[in-house]
Each structure stands twice: as C-alpha cells, then as structure tokens.
Amino acid sequence: MMATTAKNAKRTAARAQRRQQLIDATVKCIARKGLGSTTTADVARQAGLSQGIVNLHFKSKDNLLSETLRYLADEYKTQFNLAVENSGPAASDRLRALMELDLRPSICDRDKIAVWFAFWGEVKSRPRYREICEKSDEYYDEVTRRLCDEIIAAGEYPGVSGIAVATVLTSLTNGLWLACLVNASSFDREQAMGCIDEYLNCIFPKHFPVRVL
Amino acid sequence: MMATTAKNAKRTAARAQRRQQLIDATVKCIARKGLGSTTTADVARQAGLSQGIVNLHFKSKDNLLSETLRYLADEYKTQFNLAVENSGPAASDRLRALMELDLRPSICDRDKIAVWFAFWGEVKSRPRYREICEKSDEYYDEVTRRLCDEIIAAGEYPGVSGIAVATVLTSLTNGLWLACLVNASSFDREQAMGCIDEYLNCIFPKHFPVRVL
DNA sequence: TATAAAAATGAATGAGTATTCATTCATATT
DNA sequence: AATATGAATGAATACTCATTCATTTTTATA
C-alpha cells in the first residue's frame, strides 16, 4: 500500500518544481526571442531538459503558455499585495508604494516588460489570456480605487473621481512600460517616477506635496 | 521604346495598389487571429488572391509585416497631423484634439488596438519593429511637448514640466488602449476621455476648465 | 493582331516544429 | 536485492507553413 503522506508530498513537490523550472525557462525564452519564435525545444533546452518534457508536464505548448501567464500574474499580485502591506498605514503612502512598485528595477525591466507585452499582443485572439489579464486588472483597479477614494474622502477633494484617478494611474504605468520597451535609450525610470509624482501632487496636493530634491 | 510616363505610372500604381491590398489583408488577419497565427496563406486568402502573392510583392513574410507596421505608423501620423491642423489655433485646442483623436472610435477600436499591441509585443526581439515605433513616438512626443510648453508659457504654470506632461499624456492614452483591449466589457471611451479631461483640468486649469455636462 | 513583358497562379518543396511513444533511468516499496 | 512506479529521454511522426517556380493569364506595345 502507498504511504500517501510523505511519499506523495515529495512527488508532487518535485513535479511542481519541474513545472516551475519550465515556466521560468519559458519566460526567459520569450524575453529573448519573442513569443512567436519560442519553440518547445527552446524551452526544453533553456531548462536543460529533453524535447518531450513540455508535453509531459503541460500536455501542450498552448497550456504551457497560459500557465506561464498565470504565473506571471500571480507573481505580480504577490508583489502588489506586499507593497501595500509593507507601506505606511496612510492610504497615500500605500498608493505611492504601488506606483513605486511598477517602476522598481526588478519589475520595470525590459525583459519582463517584453514578456507582458508579448502576452498582451495575443489577448484579442486568445480568450484564455484575456481572462487571466482581465481578472488581474479588476483586482488592481479595485484596490487602487479604494485607496483613491480614501484619500479623496480624507482630503475633501471636490469633483475628483476615485475611479478616474485609479484608471489614470494604472493606464499611466502600463503606458510608461511601453515607453521603456520601445524607447529604451531615452526612457528614464527617475523621470517616469517624476511624471507620476507630478500627477499625484496635482490631483491630491494635500497628500502629495511637491518633493524637494 | 517605352513611354516611361503614362505607361509606367499605371503599372506602378497598380503595383502599389496590390501592395496596399495585401497590407490591408494583413491588418485584418492580425486583428482576427493574432500575429503569431497569421500565415501568408491567410493573408492571400483574405485578399482573395493566390498563395505565392505575398512573396511576389513583398519578397518575404518578414518584410510584409514590417511594411504593414510602417503603413500603420504612417496612417496614424497622417491622422495626427490632420487633427493638429484642423483644430483651433490655440495650443490647448490642438492638444485636446490630439487626445480626442486617440479615443476616436475609428482609432480606439479593439481590432486596430490589437494590431498595435501585436507589434509592440514583438518589439524587443525585432529591431526593425522597434525602429519604426521609436521614430514615430519621438515625433508625437515632440509635438505634444511643444504644445504643452506653449500652454505652460501662456498660462504661467509654475513647476510644470512640458516633457513630463507630454509623457503622461502619450503614456496614458497607450495605457487606456490596453484597458480597451483587455477589459473590453468594462472599458468605456467616454469614461476614458473623462480621465484625460480630469487630468488636463488638473494640470492646466486655466486652459481646460471643468466641462459641464 | 501578334508579340513581348509583367503579373498572378497554385502545386511542389523542404525546413521547422509540436507531439507521440517505446525505451531508459531513478527512486521508493516490499 | 527484487520489483514496481513515476520521470525523463530523444528518435520518429505528423503536420504546418514560407518559399519557389514552371505555367497561365493579363496587359501593353509595335
């Protein structure tokens, strides 16, 4: 008979580890060669494993790609939640921590951004990708909106819409990522953060006073 | 001998027309199936022509795709310049015309946006794509910045940077396009324009007073 | 109209790639 | 140690797709 506890735990752990190894390899390949030119053989080679490994663990390439996107979304969500939790209790501190997160070197990195855009580029024709992205976006928008509403209530900002500000902030960071991807040479993280601060100061002056350099 | 005038003119016109027909077909295919799943046979079928036609007119698929991107960039530039020229002489009118352009139904259309993102998704691994996109971006940024600087000078807005505002505006519209692509159901062009107006009102209050509905 | 030139066709080619699967290898259980 | 089980391999398979090119069709000139 099988000792389903210790035994299986180890087995499934090893299995999960290998899946992660393949997902990591996939991310690297997409960053380097693009989604369109990434083959299962590339992924296997990058992972230091053999041909058939992708289909063994993910059933199909399609599935591997979906799972990779799902992983990226989860990974970002974790960072996102961490950023909120680890920052000061004030809503304004939390909001700024989120903005800082998006421009942090480990996230606002050309390789990483290239992978996000690779998936976004296929969103229209791949319902699965869209579902994953949409679900994530809803969450971020909701959290950001709540923070904005809190600030608006506390600061008595008349005529400012929390939804609108949240939409501006998330769209703005996505747009800045594109600038980082396309205009790599002229893009400057500092300057990008400056844009965001200028906006925050403008919309919530009481909470985001001009930063003296 | 050859009548190089009338004769060749007609020939090259026909040739250009066929190329355009193929580029249009390519755009349609990318919008429907995505860049990764668009084959030369798809494009030919969409254009109502035969297998070999793409290689006959574009030499290679790669070339067809680059030319398609170039065409899209040119097409947008034309609209962009038109929007500037056709709007009131004041810099603020021109700036708002540019924002309206990006959210105009014919441009802020899921199919069109999907094509842009398809190319952006490959920018990192395709230098040719990047060159085309970067060159366009520089132009738009420059024009937008000039308008912003003009407004800043006229309105005596202290501590507002034209470059920063221009960056915010172009990044914001690109980010709003992503929202349109991903969150198709909840995204609303009206609301997006509202976000932009709120921003403009906030940063340049004298030039963009609150719009009464 | 006859002839030359260009454009277009579409079957054939072959390079590339996802997937399969018989076999080997590693590990755990008895 | 012997056996069973899951993991991994990598050669073989089946298939897709960009590209080629011999042939046909269209168009323009003489």
Write out the residue limits of the CATH 1.10.10.60 domain(s) in chain B.
1-59
For residues A37-56, average pLDDT: 97
Option in B160, B173, B198 nearest A161 (CB): B198
Segment B67-94 mean pLDDT = 97
CB contact at 8 A, B99 and B196? yes
Statement: residue A195 has pLDDT above 80: yes
Which has the higher per-residue pLDDT, A210 or B82? B82
Asked whether residue B183's C-beta has any atom of DNA/RNA strand D within 7 A, the reply is no
pLDDT of residue B211: 72
**For strand D, is any atom closer than 7 Å to the CB of A40?**
no
For CATH 1.10.357.10, list the domain ranges present in chain A: 60-213
Indicate the angle between helix axes B61-85 and B110-120, nearest 10 degrees. Answer: 120
User: A1-59 in CATH: which number?
Assistant: 1.10.10.60
Under CATH, which number does the domain B60-213 receive?
A: 1.10.357.10
* Confidence band for B14, pLDDT divided at 50, 70 and 90: confident
Give the model's confidence band at A164: pLDDT under 50 very low, under 70 low, under 90 confident, else very high. Answer: very high
pLDDT digits (tens, 9 = 90+) for A97-111: 999 999 999 999 999
In this predicted structure, the answer to whether residue A210 has a pLDDT above a threshold of 70 is yes
Give the pLDDT score at A8. 64
Which residues have CB under 8 Å from A64's CB, separation 6+? A22, A23, A26, A40, A43, A54, A57, A58
Residues 85-124 of B with CB under 8 A from A: 110-111, 113-114, 117-124
- Does the structure show a pLDDT above 60 at B199? yes
pLDDT at A112: 98
Q: What is the mean pLDDT of residues B139-156?
A: 97
User: What is the arithmetic mean of pLDDT over B21-44?
Assistant: 98
**Is residue A49's beta carbon less than 7 angstroms from any atom in nucleic acid strand D?**
yes
State the pLDDT at residue A62: 97
Chain A, residues 20-39, CB within 8 A of chain B, namely: 31-37
Nucleotide nearest to A7 (CA to C1'): C28
pLDDT of residue A182 exceeding 70: yes
Nearest to B64 by CA among B34, B32, B45, B38: B38
CB-proximal positions of chain D, under 7 Å = 6-12, 16-22, 27-30
Is the pLDDT at A70 greater than 60? The verdict is yes
Q: Say if residue B195's pLDDT is above 70.
A: yes
**Averaged pLDDT, A155-175:** 96
